Structure 1
Amino acid sequence: MPTSPLSSAQAARAAIAAQLDGIRRDAGLTGHELAVRCGWHKSKASRIARAKTAPSDADIRAWCEACGAGERAPDLIAASRTAESMYVHWRQIHRDGMRRVHEKTVPLYERTGRFRVYASNVVPGMLQTADYATGLLRSITAFQGTPDDVADAVQARLNRSRVVYEGNHRFALLLEEAVLYYRVCDGPELAAQLRHLQGVMARPNVSLGIIPFTARRTVWPLEAFYAFDDAQVAVETLTAEVNITAPSEVHTYLRAFAELSRTAVYGAGARGCLTKALNCALA
């Protein structure tokens, strides 16, 4: 079963901390002596060594220089930056609005051959209509208090979604049935979104499964995640996006996806779920 979506980021940070602490020990320094050499408060070296405080580039350089291992700094800085990119707060990602993040991920979407997406909260971005995306992104902007560039972000999201219709991409998408009912936009717009799903599921490169309310669970509802081939999984939490690349954890998410797939309905069953939700949206 999936571990915490923070585990990859935490493990990467812990690995950096362990390497730095090993450099200190090899130099024969105590944590206090290292802190003195670096001009830090005495507890800072300890916090970094225990992965309680993420070191800045300058911290890593100072640490390595103080231990006579300055040549180790560049590799450690690069590894630290990778670790930090695993867990990125939405406020940081959206600090200039949401358009840029959509544009930035276009290359990832274009080079991915096989998408596996599990959605427990909203319709996946690549299947969203303009009105549905507008309602969703307006809510996110208001909740996060980030700059309002919703109109541009919606267009960027639609532009990125062209991968569904262009190129050689395959999509396996799983939606919890509740997703079909969540009112992120008004009833008529939600109805249009559901009709769009009915149309998209007929495409030969799209497999759309819906996990019914009544499904017998072998995997409990999880936070939404996007798997890009077998190389990367992006997990969406309330406060951050977690990018997982560790093969063992990617495998665990793909295993969960396979288990969830077995509880979903497809074809006529999925169309039946969509029809019920559509009737509710129009009521």
Structure 2
Amino acid sequence: MSASPSSSAQAAREALAVRLSHLRKDAGLTGRELSVRCGWHPAKTTRLQKGEAAPTDADIRAWCAACGAEDQIEDLIATARTVDSMYLEWRRLHRYGMRKVQEDFYTLHEQTSVCLVYASNAVPGFLQTSAYATTLMQSITDFQGTPDDVTEAVAARVARSRFLYEGNRRFVVLMEEWVLRSRIGDRDTMTGQLRHLLTAMPLPSLSLGVIPFTARRRMWPLEAFYVYDDRRVLVETLTAEVNVTQPRELADYRKAFGELSQMAVYGAPARALIESALCALR
């Protein structure tokens, strides 16, 4: 089993810390000597070398200058920024509300030709109705205690549905059956959402598969993830958005998606599962 995405992000932080430690050792400096040259407490040097703290751009410039390795500054700053973007806490992303993040997702979809989605906890944003999205995003805002701009955020999220109808984009969605049965909002909200799925299914841009409760698991249930072309996987955890860009890990997620897709049903059987969930609401 591959490491969790959060573990991969921590491993990247530790790899950056090792590079900083090697620069210090190559310069023949002790941790205390480097701290004096940088003008900070030795405890900060320890934290940076252990990967317990993320270095700022200024930290890296000071560290490299102290080690006489100014030629490494730009590369290390670029690496640090990549590491910092791998694991982004939702509270940090939503500190001013959810609208900005939804607009960023809009841009990401705009730049993507093929999007693979494994939906294990909720209907994907570009397939959500306004009522479903409002209920879901209000509960997220309440849980996180972040600023409430749900109305604007919902508008930005629902706007992504245009990509189902425009351009040559392709959306391949795998949804666990319990997503259809989980009550997000009241009965009318779920009824409208399930009917919307039935309406969207014939679109040429969309392939929608449902993994039944009764499917023999070739792959255990995973956290929801989105694959954007061959360049990025976004994993949604309770506390953070995890961005995966390493080729080996990208290949793992594509392999997992392939395993999950073999457990799903499509076409008429998938419609039957959605209609069954609708009947259960009545």
TM-score (normalizing by structure 1): 0.96
* Overall identity of the aligned pairs, in %: 59
Aligned partner of residue 105 in structure 1, secondary structure:
helix
**CA offset digits 1:57-85 (Å, max 9, x no partner):** 22111211111122322221121111101
What are structure 2's unaligned runs of at least 5 residues? none
Letter in 1 for 2:250: V
1:164 CA drift (Å)? 1.0
The answer for the alignment partner of 1:132 in structure 2 is 132
What are structure 1's unaligned runs of at least 5 residues? none
For the Cα contact (< 8 Å) 1:116–1:227, is it kept in 2?
yes
**CA offset digits 1:214-233 (Å, max 9, x no partner):** 11112111110000011100
The answer for the alignment partner of 1:50 in structure 2 is 50
Map of 1:1-283 to 2, 5 A cutoff? Answer: 1-282=1-282
**CA offset digits 1:115-149 (Å, max 9, x no partner):** 10001100000100010001001101100111111
Mapped to 2, the partners of 1:188 and 1:268 lie a distance apart of: 24
Q: Whose relative contact order is higher, 1 or 2, with alpha carbons under 8 Å and at least 6 apart? A: 1
For the Cα contact (< 8 Å) 1:48–1:55, is it kept in 2?
yes
Higher mean alpha-carbon deviation, 181-190 vs 236-245, is at 181-190
1:3 CA drift (Å)? 2.7
Mapped to 1, the partners of 2:266 and 2:106 lie a distance apart of: 29
**CA offset digits 1:201-244 (Å, max 9, x no partner):** 11122111111111111211111000001110000000000011
Mapped to 2, the partners of 1:202 and 1:2 lie a distance apart of: 36
1:2 CA drift (Å)? 4.4
Mapped to 1, the partners of 2:181 and 2:236 lie a distance apart of: 20
Query: C-alpha root-mean-square deviation of aligned residues, in Å?
Result: 1.3
**CA offset digits 1:144-187 (Å, max 9, x no partner):** 11111111111111112211111111111011111011112111
Aligned partner of residue 91 in structure 1, secondary structure:
helix
TM-score (normalizing by structure 2): 0.96
For the Cα contact (< 8 Å) 1:117–1:227, is it kept in 2?
yes
Aligned partner of residue 263 in structure 1, secondary structure:
coil
Aligned partner of residue 227 in structure 2, secondary structure:
strand
Q: For this pair of structures, how many residues does the alignment match?
A: 282
